[in-house]
């Protein structure tokens, strides 16, 4: 089992050049780590799933996540990580077998959405409340690429109430503010 963050980071940089995709991976990592703490699970491992879930997106956007899965299998990553990566893409029709897989699905879009909200705030994370994220979710013109229904349905699947879900993500991301809000994140 490969659970080493350094190895995952070097694999990520080997396959991804885009700064925005790297930032997205780091944001999803931060949320996965926050959720692992919340659930009392393996923080390092859940973080790695976040780091690697879009590994192939830059080179193979049309074959995502299949190309990534090939790389991750070759690198010896365990079945539970493979399932989570498969499960975060709807077109794969892969049942999300673990809480880790359901968490990845629930934090993927919302992590980038929260960062997008933070970037338009003068005070960034300082004083950021759940209700202002909810307000932006209702504003269909803001970050319109983000699928609001997916955010709500994935939180329900995870069994977490949306207010708590957004709060956990805010907390997780704000710990990494310096890394995450320096430049814009793509909304993947
Ligand atoms: Fe993806
Ligand atoms: Fe993603």
Which ligand is the nearest neighbour of the Cα of 89?
1
Q: What is the CA radius of gyration of the chain?
A: 15
Q: What is the pLDDT of residues 62-117, one digit of tens each?
A: 999 999 999 999 999 999 999 999 999 999 999 999 999 999 999 999 999 999 99
Specify the number of domains making up the chain.
1
Domain of 61 in residue numbering reads as 5-179
Domain of residue 111, CATH code: 1.10.3210
Cβ atoms 188, 57 nearer than 8 A: yes
Between the CA of 86 and the centroid of ligand 1 the distance, in Å, is 9
What is the band of 182 on the pLDDT scale with cuts at 50, 70, 90? low
Spatial CB neighbours of 46, under 8 Å, sequence gap ≥ 6? 32, 33, 35, 36, 100, 103
Does residue 187 surpass a pLDDT of 80? no
187: in domain:
no
Does residue 184 surpass a pLDDT of 90? no
126: in domain:
yes
186: in domain:
no
């Amino acid at each position: 089992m490969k659970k080493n963050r350094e190895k995952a980071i070097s694999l990520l940089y080997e396959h991804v050049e885009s700064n925005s995709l790297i930032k997205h991976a780091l944001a999803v990592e931060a949320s996965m780590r926050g959720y692992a703490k919340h659930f009392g699970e393996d923080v390092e491992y859940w973080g790695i799933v976040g780091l690697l879930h879009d590994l192939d997106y830059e080179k193979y956007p049309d074959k995502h996540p299949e190309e990534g899965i090939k790389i991750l299998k070759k690198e010896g990553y365990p079945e539970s990580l493979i399932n989570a990566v498969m499960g975060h893409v709807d077109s794969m029709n892969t049942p999300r077998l673990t809480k880790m897989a359901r968490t990845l699905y629930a934090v993927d879009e919302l992590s980038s959405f929260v960062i997008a909200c933070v970037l338009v705030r003068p005070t960034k994370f300082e004083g950021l409340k759940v209700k202002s994220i909810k307000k932006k979710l209702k504003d269909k013109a803001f970050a319109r690429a983000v699928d609001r229904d997916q955010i709500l349905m994935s939180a329900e699947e995870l069994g977490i109430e949306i207010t708590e879900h957004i709060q956990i993500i805010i907390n997780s991301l704000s710990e990494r503010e310096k890394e995450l809000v320096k430049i814009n994140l793509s909304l993947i």
